[in-house]
Structure 1
């Protein structure tokens, strides 16, 4: 079947990347960012990168055709045109991520599931290594993965092998993290969530694991906190840890000060945005699937962004309703939410999701078929084969779905509500209650027409708080559910919609607008008409700065009589009074009061049977005590989890431009700094180089010839640099933007530095001997510059130092200019602090942290989807 699909592609029209971007930019009314994201991530492609769709309209036809194909198997089917009208232009129903890319794509063997959880509960090397292999096998099919480590015995426990005692969970965190970083998924890395119970004796080590520089960088981490821990932490009473964590007669017990551990969780989250917390008793108490825990649906962990708690080997697919499209007469006094249309579409969205489960089962069968036909020995592919059969069994048994929303922030603004206000929260709850009731109505109707999920038992569910809530607002629905059953074990979520919201041109998920306006830059030809050159860089390239506005803010301007063209050309001072008149005033991510945001999350959570991915953004000067209050409030109002992001707290995300005291300030740990986050000279030795460093690739032109720089990074900051002409000994494919510099020993016993990267097939490629790849004179200068970088000189000063080097030889000056240009890409204008660059577009100003996910406002890059 796979070979036949590849033959059929020869009959299809293909488009160049440039053709598709140009046509899609027109489709998005000039939004080049949305166009690039769609072509890169979602246009139909084969394994060789050939593009078969010119605009999203082609994709929507593909999706509608597949929906209609599945619908035709059941009573009262939707036809292709009906399905198309619901998905076209991203207006109403929007499949997210893997479903958008994979529905109807028979050219690649991949899953439609966005996320999985795995776990065999085995406390042995065999079980731990099995989890590692399963994780990689799922990630290579495009899925994010979560798993829990609470079953691994604590550090110091006796083991029956030569090690004599257990190493605990932390070394395995690093193992799973490294595996994630090694898996490539169509240009994106794998996504991993690691969790542990607060009851586990190694919980404190788990909480501290990511504080060590460069450790566990490939995973998100969250602590599963139970109610007993929270009561002990707040009340100052002792708390018992134990192993096994759920045992009535544990082998290991340990009494701890819960408040001290809670303070550590809070401080680490304040400092680095991790760990997140999962209020595990709330998760289990509210979970409908856990009514079937003894049948294999016991929730053990979550997906990487936390919105889908899952049982072992279960999976979920995501879809969002664009809430903004249900606002009639937006941004006017007559605006209202069309609940009648929304109810109808919510039911159809749930049908779509059930259809997608059928498609996923076809995809899983295709994966299993491929594994069976692979030429490898059976024992080598046995784990992968068994894994996908487990996934298939869990999918059939529960038929789990993930219907959610996007554009909540815009919807409230269009209705005249300020995000986070009591009135806004009340409206949001009404919307989510309607979604819950109508999605469950559709699932009950499908149970009548298509059959209930195989293990449905109304008796098991009758005490579940979520089911009781539904019964209280719609007794008829509950009576029908008892009579006919339900098609799906769990239905609802609110996931990150980073790239999805770029294409709906709305706010993301449940979040408020991140920024109403911001600046972008683009390289321009100075001879072009109407170009305003903002600055000329060191190599003579001309750049224009221009304002970018949130799409729906432009709609508000137009609706309220402003001349949009004039407003978009205003400077910040002229623009601010206009923003203050809009419903977006005091309603951006950093404006919204944290108490109200957490209150809103808890209120909406009552109508979401899975969970919600949301981040509480707080300013850089937020105190540790304030973060503690945020987390405690989240528990008290019924949130299933909480993540905070304090501006500038995560290395490699975003550091604010505010000037520091020239004398330096004491950090939270008491270490003195020079105001740039690095140790003062003479106070600390430079950090020892590990065997491997992350690396950034910077390409540029020098004297009309292609040059390349490999910049080794430690904790997101340049640590060493190699650069020179991109000659035959060191040529990289154009898609390579990141990799690793590995330190090794050459045959002569001297240090050697090798560059590694992942190719498009997911294989690691090594180029040995960076020292041999460039002119030896460059190498010697590079060693000196690398030494300065390692000692902690602020990056801008390093650039100034290199720029001031004088040499008679032209080739050294040429090389010097190349180093300067490469390093300057890591220095934001107007600041001495180092900001991280987007790994996709290189913008040092565009990375933001929202919905538990790293995203770029300039190119649409998202770590999550």
Structure 2
């Protein structure tokens, strides 16, 4: 017998009617619910959390009347799909209980100068940043390669990877605010002499496990791979080295000229490039194969197309970007910071799983507009620990609004993720967010003033004229002084794209300035999607599976805990259509519709196509992972990255389940059941068990997979 769900005749059925699953309540309670020192809950419900956050952010407004007005509007938006990032949900309005915490998820370190003082100074700054609850990214290719001579010490350096180990240990030791372990990103230039060591670093058990790793890939390198030519591995020479050793800078066998983020004490040519010593040559395809092999086996390093990042940066006139936040959705300059927020798309679906299924565009635009003001207000309560971080975010007022639940929403609307229809929906949902956000940016600038950096005057340089030839066509010459708001609105490549849709808007932004320099990015949204959004699909992704296991850190537990979770669309289908439906059912009565696909059902090209459809209207970047099954052919795998490059993406990441290398956060029961783990006992005997079997060890019960991973990676008993 089927269950009927009654609704008022004048009210469409919506996905918001689906009850929360236990795992979602549990994660909210552990991660985001405000509690007193003695563990007493202060947030009684999730709505209580929303009220706390709305009140804290509305307090930024200028008058009591405005504070009350915007409190009500912010709370309405939070009840209709707006979800601030985890640091805001956890820390906004919680300062009486944890005063030293930040509302900012994303930061990037200042550039790490090649000296011991600078390296250790940045470790100190990073420790303070992680302690405040922020994630942080660094570029490490500014450090001399292994074996280079250090004249001040009269010795040879151990290279950048050895210093990364220091940052890794610091991050593991520093317990981030809110019970959150620190998150770091390490980036590395593809032309650095130690690039091969960076690529292979995570092959060593337990090494750099507090880092995500990404290579800074240039167009020059990609074309060298395409043409199968040599690639030069080089590092800058100090000007004093050139003079002391009388180096011939015109010798192409010894010297190559390259762009470099730090120029102090170096030798520059007429276009700002730095003289670099060539350490060795390598075939570009050999290096490419090393990257692909590591990514296939270990899911790292990731892939940042750094030329595209800088070319499309709204702040192209005042920033050079070389690093990102830990998940790659925010490419930031030195000391750059950005706050995040996502809109859950599933509540806007009316009459899901029916021929009348539709998306409520009017309410969506209203939520985007209110949420834009809300995120802008968060800048004022940033809680960042370093003065240079605070100056940076107050000057540019960056925020990154994105969405979550795209995969779930497509299923509710009856679309297959990756289909032409889904690409059109993805582009529209992103375009509408962008247009509404920039219209709000103008309104806020007219009310409160533009981002301060946009009122500054910038001197036009020869490099700027090379990057933007249209400056000269408009009569602007080298040495002229131009307002940041003009360079931002009229000459950034992204805002030129917005102008194709609304030229009047962009013209007014060039005249008035925008309230913020950046508006959008799509984050992975892992725990906010699982908790507050009832396990709607993460960010821009399809659902990983419809019933799977999530490995979570539970304070006091010696290995990660396996928690059963269900996709939001499965819960919605069971609640609204068929309570008996299950994944992979053989009987027609229990079968799910064909639109219920998972990450492994999506081809790599479809993953890239979805990302490209969104990236067109995202001014920062997107955290996106192309999941492939364990038996996915290696030769096909390699093509994913070239396809991403050709589609103009800013980055690309893949994941293939490989239990020999690591235990993922999200795991399918079938993969665990098919994987054996061997343990050596104290008497020398061995036992072999399946990954999903439970083992009692050291006074606790663990899954075999999680126990094996904790021991192998060295984190057993350290949470």
* TM superposition shift of 1:656: 7.7
- Name the CA distance, whole Å, in 2 between partners of 1:101 and 1:154: 41
Give matches, 1:98-137, under 5 Å: 98-106=87-95, 107-108=97-98, 109-137=100-128
Q: Distance in 1 between matches of 2:285 and 2:331?
A: 26
**C-alpha distance in 2 between matches for 1:640 and 1:596:** 16
Q: Which range moves more in the overlay, 246-255 or 200-209?
A: 246-255
Deviation at 1:175, TM superposition (A): 1.2
In 1, Cα distance between equivalents of 2:193 and 2:550: 48
2:83 aligned to 90, 94, 105, which one? 94
Match of 2:46 in 1: 56
Q: How does 1:501-580 map to 2 (within 5 A)?
A: 501-502=529-530, 503-505=532-534, 506-518=536-548, 549-560=566-577, 562=578, 564=579, 567=580, 573-574=585-586, 578-580=590-592
Task: Describe how 1:407-418 pairs up with structure 2 within 5 A.
Answer: 407-418=405-416
* Structure 1 Cα separation of the partners of residues 705 and 143 of structure 2: 44
SS at match of 1:79: helix
**CA distance, structure 2, for counterparts of residue 137 and residue 659 of structure 1:** 38
Work out whether residues 548 and 669 of structure 2, in 8 Å CA contact, stay in contact via their aligned partners in 1.
Answer: no
Q: Paired residue for 2:277, among 252, 259, 263?
A: 252
Secondary structure at the residue paired with 2:275? coil
Superposition pairs of residues 654-673 of structure 1, within 5 angstroms: none
Given that 2:690 and 2:704 are in contact with CA atoms closer than 8 Å, whether structure 1 keeps it comes out as no
Q: Does the CA contact (< 8 Å) of 1:676 and 1:794 recur in 2?
A: no
Structure of larger gyration radius: 1
CA apart distance, 1:358: 1.2
The one of the two structures with greater contact order (alpha-carbon pairs below 8 A, sep at least 6) is 2
Q: 1:579 to 1:549 in 2, by over 3 A?
A: farther
TM-aligned CA distance change 1:348 to 1:551, over 3 Å = same
**Partner residue of 1:308?**
330
CA distance in 2, matches of 1:818, 1:411: 41
Give the match's secondary structure for 1:217: coil
- Secondary structure of 1:270's aligned partner: helix
Equivalent position of 1:688 in the other structure? none
Structure 2 residue 370 is the aligned partner of structure 1 residue 348: yes
Give the counterpart of 2:689 among 791, 796, 799.
796
SS at match of 1:448: helix
- 1:447-487: CA deviations, max 9, x gaps? 11111111212332333221111010111211121121101
Aligned length: 616
Paired residue for 1:325?
347
Q: Paired residue for 1:168, among 159, 172, 176?
A: 159
Q: Distance in 2 between matches of 1:520 and 1:257?
A: 41
Q: Is the 8 A contact 2:540 2:624 kept in 1?
A: yes
Structure 1 residues 517 and 211 mapped into 2: Cα distance closer, same or farther (>3 Å)? closer
Correspondent of 1:398 among 388, 393, 396: 396
After superposition, give the CA deviation of every residue in 1:179-215 in whole Å (9 maximum; x if it has no partner).
1111112333211110111121111111111112222
Rounded to whole Å, the distance in 2 between the matches of 1:173 and 1:520 is 29
| Residue among 453, 471, 489 paired with 2:517 | 489
- The corresponding residue for 2:642 is 632
2:188 to 196, 208, 229: 196
Q: 2:486 aligns with which of 449, 456, 459?
A: 459
1:452-851 to 2 correspondences below 5 Å: 452-456=450-454, 457-461=484-488, 462-502=490-530, 503-505=532-534, 506-518=536-548, 549-560=566-577, 562=578, 564=579, 567=580, 573-574=585-586, 578-584=590-596, 587-648=597-658, 650-653=661-664, 785-786=681-682, 788=684, 793-796=686-689, 819=697, 825-827=702-704
How many Å separate the matches in 2 of 1:114 and 1:552?
Answer: 28
SS in 2 for 1:290: coil
Determine the structure 1 residue equivalent to 2:555.
Answer: none
Find the residue that maps to 2:658 and give its secondary structure.
Answer: coil
- 1:753-797: CA deviation from partner (whole Å, max 9, x where unpaired): xxxxxxxxxxxxxxxxxxxxxxxxxxxxxxxx33637xxx45339
Instruction: Pick closer, same or farther for the CA change 1:582–1:627 going to 2, 3 Å.
Output: closer
Aligned-partner Cα distance in 2 for 1:546–1:612: 27
- Mean CA deviation greater in 305-314 or 649-658: 649-658
Superposed displacement of residue 311, structure 1: 1.0
Give secondary structure in 1 for the equivalent of 2:595: coil
CA separation of 1:834/1:152 partners in 2, compared to 1, >3 Å: closer, same or farther?
Answer: closer
1:230, distance to aligned residue in structure 2 (A): 0.6
Aligned-partner Cα distance in 1 for 2:436–2:697: 59
Per-residue CA deviation, residues 493-552 of structure 1 (Å, 9 max, x unaligned), is 10011111122122221111122235899xxxxxxxxxxxxxxxxxxxxxxx99964333
SS at match of 1:597: helix
Aligned mates of 1:837, 1:332 — CA distance in 2 = 49
Could you state the TM-score of these two structures normalised by the residue count of structure 2?
0.79
2: CA distance, partners of 1:647 / 1:621: 9
- How far does residue 250 in structure 1 lie from its aligned partner after superposition? 2.0
1:288 corresponding residue in structure 2: 314
Do the aligned residues in 2 keep the contact of 1:74 with 1:449 (CA within 8 Å)? Answer: no
SS at match of 1:292: coil
Judging changes above 3 Å, is the alpha-carbon distance between structure 1 residues 144 and 546 closer, same or farther for their aligned structure 2 residues?
A: closer
Query: Secondary structure of 2:155's partner?
Result: coil
For 1:65 and 1:158, locate their aligned partners in 2 and report how far apart those are by CA, in whole Å.
Answer: 57
- Determine if the alignment matches structure 1 residue 71 to structure 2 residue 81: no
Q: Deviations over 1:124-163 (max 9, x none)?
A: 0111111111111111111111000121011222112445
User: In the alignment, is the contact (CA less than 8 A) between 2:450 and 2:515 conserved in 1?
Assistant: yes
Aligned-pair CA distance for 1:573: 3.8
1:242 aligned to which of 234, 243, 253: 234
CA gap 1:104/1:838 in 2 versus in 1, 3 angstroms: farther
Distance 1:559 1:44, change over 3 A: closer
User: Structure 1 residues 658 and 301, CA, compared in 2 at 3 Å: closer, same or farther?
Assistant: closer
Q: 1:472 to 1:509 in 2, by over 3 A?
A: same
Q: Which residue of 1 aligns with 2:72?
A: 81
Q: Pairwise CA RMSD of aligned residues? A: 3.3
Q: Report the Cα distance in structure 2 between the residues aligned to 1:571 and 1:86, rounded to whole angstroms.
A: 33
Alpha carbons of 1:86 and 1:575: their partners in 2 closer, same or farther (altered >3 Å)?
A: farther
For residues 381-411 of structure 1, the C-alpha deviation after alignment (integer angstroms, 9 at most, x for no partner) is: xxxxxxx111111111111101111111122
Unaligned runs of 5+ in 1: 1-26, 368-387, 522-544, 662-674, 679-717, 720-784, 804-816, 843-862
- 8 Å contact kept, 2:230–2:282: yes
Measured after TM superposition, the shift of residue 489 of structure 1 is 1.3
Displacement of 1:275? 0.7
User: TM-score, with normalisation over the residues of structure 1?
Assistant: 0.66
| Gap runs ≥5 in structure 2 | 1-16, 237-257, 261-272, 455-483, 552-561
Change (3 A) 1:159 1:546: closer
Rounded to whole Å, the distance in 2 between the matches of 1:641 and 1:29 is: 36
* C-alpha distance in structure 1 between counterparts of 2:703 and 2:571, whole Å: 32
Q: Give the CA deviation at 1:624.
A: 2.1
Quick check: 495-504 or 96-105, which moved more? Answer: 495-504
Q: Cα–Cα, structure 1 residues 651 and 68, in superposed 2: closer, same or farther, change >3 Å? A: closer
Give SS of 1:625's match.
Answer: helix
User: Residues 647 and 655 of structure 1 are in contact (CA less than 8 Å); yes or no, is this contact kept in structure 2?
Assistant: no
Following superposition, the deviation at residue 260 of structure 1 comes to 0.7
Matched, 1:35 2:47: no
Q: Structure 1 655/520 Cα, relative in aligned 2: closer, same or farther at 3 Å?
A: closer
Q: 1:76 deviation in Å?
A: 6.7
1:579 to partner: Cα distance: 3.9
